[in-house]
Structure 1
Amino acid sequence: MKNHSIKFYSHRVKTVIIGILCFVMIYILYTKLLADPFGLTSIAISACWAMLVILFILGVVFLLKTFDPRPIIEIMSEGLTIRTFLFFEDFVPWEEVVGANQENYTNRVVSMHGYARVTTTFLRIYRPKGRSLAINLSLLNKRGTEFHQALSKYLAA
């Protein structure tokens, strides 16, 4: 019997846009604030450098995710392979899956200057003896409803 697997990759358009935005923010931060730090305190300069380093790391990670040839999720008849980060990979056999739940997480930021709300959708895979695994569905190319159909085919069995 041939081992058939369905592979789902990162949403490359979203990851490349986020990666480019990180590098644009680095450029703006460096040229507008750090090149001429007149009026900035030493703590503000240190915070800007820390933000610059964090943006650089995030930009590199998102661009690596864009060009990574490996799938984020691979659904096989034996189980589910999830690549949670660049080099971390978890295999969950279908016998270990107790349930799956789609969860929405909303982060609200309220200040005197404005209001922002960011909602992210996760698919959480529950296991009886191990920790649950969360898959960020916002950055996954689900190809319409194909991801949910493939997953429900194995979870219903």
Structure 2
Amino acid sequence: MFEIDTVVFVDALETEDEVGAVLRTHLMVEKFLDWTFDQFVTEERKQWIQRPTNFRGKVSMAVALGLPVVFAGAAIQLNHVRNDLAHRMEKMNSSQVEQYGRDVNKLAALYEAFAPLQMRKIEFSRKEPGKIYKYGSGNTRLDFVIASIALLSTAMGWSLHVQSAGNS
């Protein structure tokens, strides 16, 4: 099963630095795409099938190997958020994050138990115990964080499904 580096993940969640949150999340999703490649491409085949080096190539390869298209759409939108932030070096673009949220919500097609982002909330128990933030409450960074939790937890669930189906 794909596992998240919890230190990196908590840092991504709790940082006030938008660039740090986006880059850490992007890195975790990229590691998931690499995990997907390793699960489906045997050592023997790796001499003929090269691991893509760029993010979009990794998404394309993962889809070709069986990654659900709805996950790919959310990953590509995450890449748009990252690229936009990297080139502007300002605040996150709220319309890009809203689209990211819409794309993450499409993951509901994979799992009946998927809770829509609008029903999700988060508490930072170390930083602000007792204070609850709800998705869509007007904080772009927190909306990004909540959507990223949903994306990465779905990635972990899908990876468990892949392994239990015997594709490891």
**What's the TM-score once normalised by structure 2's chain length?**
0.33
The structure with the largest alpha-carbon Rg is 1
Higher relative strand content: 1
Higher relative helix content: 2
**What's the TM-score once normalised by structure 1's chain length?**
0.35
